[in-house]
């Protein structure tokens, strides 16, 4: 792969890039795109609707217009078609949850140097309201991301003849939903913490799959898993914990499968040299900021952990996914599919 050649302007653009990021975050947090998707409004009129200072809001709207997320028409502003589709809360394609999750991460990233010096996560005390808001942004942000990528993954995985899928750490259940939509004979169980249940059940109900997808409360790091599955799907579960916990979770997942069962692990996968691709390398820092021992793992590490857990026929499914994501598959020894 050709190495990048840096220039001083590129370096300074990168250094100040958070200005645009914070402008987007403020627009989403204040909810400016939703009313502006319905009709053009002047800054003063919109300020009254969303309880903002009109002068400050006008500056924000002008910046968003300069970023081409809004259109300015005289004194009025309107959402662009793209912003109306992805940044209005009334749109089914709304991506504001994942954007707000990124917003909640920013204070930690501003203290990355301290995390690197200490080798420990940077955590800030938050009110109950902030914790609830962060949890919703995280879980539904995962829904936002999975809705983008699941249609690329699910059709490429043959689950014909399989009947029961375990979506371990499934959050709102986006992948369980897509696997069940793709495979009419499949049922699924989302296994996650109790705080996730309401988001999962609401999402499953929205897709009309409540009769085929259920939820089981488990702290899967500390508790045993339900059994009797022929597929286990672990999407972005392992990077939150260290290698020893990964090994324990994978062993539980393999034990939950019948002989011949299929285990599937999706992660942001590093090359074995650990210095590429860029996103998994940066994502390891994100785990440093937020977890005691989480990290991104290389393909070799993931395959070795799956082998240690008892899986065989280990292979990476050929998929072109963003951000260095990949899916590694393995089979539980014994008769079966």
Distance CA 295, CA 306 (A): 17
Catalytic annotation, pick one of 25, 101, 178, 239: 239
Question: 62: helix, coil or strand?
Answer: helix
DSSP state of 196: G
239 catalytically annotated: yes
Are 196 and 218 contacting, i.e. CB atoms less than 8 angstroms apart? no
Task: Give the distance, in angstroms, between the CA of residue 135 and the centroid of all CA atoms in the same chain.
Answer: 12
Rg for the chain, CA atoms, rounded: 22
**Rounded CA separation 201/43 (Å):** 39
CA 262 to chain centre: 23
Task: Determine the 3-state secondary structure of 259 from DSSP.
Answer: strand
Retrieve residue 73's tokens: 């028409």
* Element at 43 (helix H, strand E): helix 43-50
Residues 7, 239: Cα–Cα separation, whole Å: 33
Q: What is d(CA 314, CA 316) in angstroms, rounded to the nearest whole number?
A: 7
* CB-count exposure of residue 109 (10 Å: 0-12, 13-18, 19+): middle
| Distance between CA atoms of residues 108 and 100, nearest Å | 14
Dihedral, CA atoms, 279, 281, 286, 288, nearest 10 degrees? 170
* Token pair 């902030």: residue: 130
Q: Name the residues annotated as catalytic.
A: 239
């Amino acid at each position: 792969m050709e190495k990048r050649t840096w220039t001083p302007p590129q370096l300074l653009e990168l250094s100040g890039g958070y200005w645009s990021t914070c402008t987007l975050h403020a627009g989403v947090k204040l909810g400016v795109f939703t009313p502006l998707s319905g009709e053009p409004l002047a800054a003063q009129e919109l300020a009254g609707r969303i309880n903002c200072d009109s002068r400050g809001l006008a500056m924000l709207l002008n910046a968003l217009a300069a970023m081409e997320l809004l259109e300015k028409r005289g004194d009025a502003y309107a959402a662009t078609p793209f912003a109306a589709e992805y940044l209005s809360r009334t749109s089914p394609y709304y991506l504001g949850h994942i954007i707000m999750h990124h917003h909640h991460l920013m204070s930690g990233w501003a203290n990355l140097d301290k995390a690197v010096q200490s080798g420990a996560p940077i955590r800030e005390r938050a009110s109950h309201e902030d914790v609830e808001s962060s949890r919703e942004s995280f879980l539904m942000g995962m829904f936002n991301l999975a809705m983008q990528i699941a249609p690329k993954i699910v059709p490429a995985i043959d689950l014909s003849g399989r009947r029961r899928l375990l979506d371990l750490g499934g959050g709102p259940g986006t992948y369980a939903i897509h696997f069940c939509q793709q495979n009419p004979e499949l049922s699924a169980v989302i296994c996650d913490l109790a705080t996730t249940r309401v988001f999962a059940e609401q999402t499953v109900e929205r897709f009309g799959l409540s009769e085929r997808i259920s939820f089981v409360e488990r702290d899967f790091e500390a508790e045993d898993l339900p059994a009797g599955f022929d597929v286990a799907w672990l999407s972005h579960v392992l990077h939150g914990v260290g290698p020893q916990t990964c090994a324990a979770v994978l062993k539980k997942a393999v034990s939950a499968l019948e002989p011949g069962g299929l285990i599937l692990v999706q992660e942001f996968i590093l090359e074995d040299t650990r210095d590429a691709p860029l996103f998994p390398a940066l994502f390891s820092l994100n785990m440093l900021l937020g977890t005691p021992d989480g990290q991104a793992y290389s393909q070799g590490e993931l395959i070795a952990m799956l082998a240690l857990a008892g899986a065989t026929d280990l292979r990476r499914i050929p998929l072109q996914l963003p951000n260095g994501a990949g899916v590694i598959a393995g089979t539980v020894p014994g008769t079966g599919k």
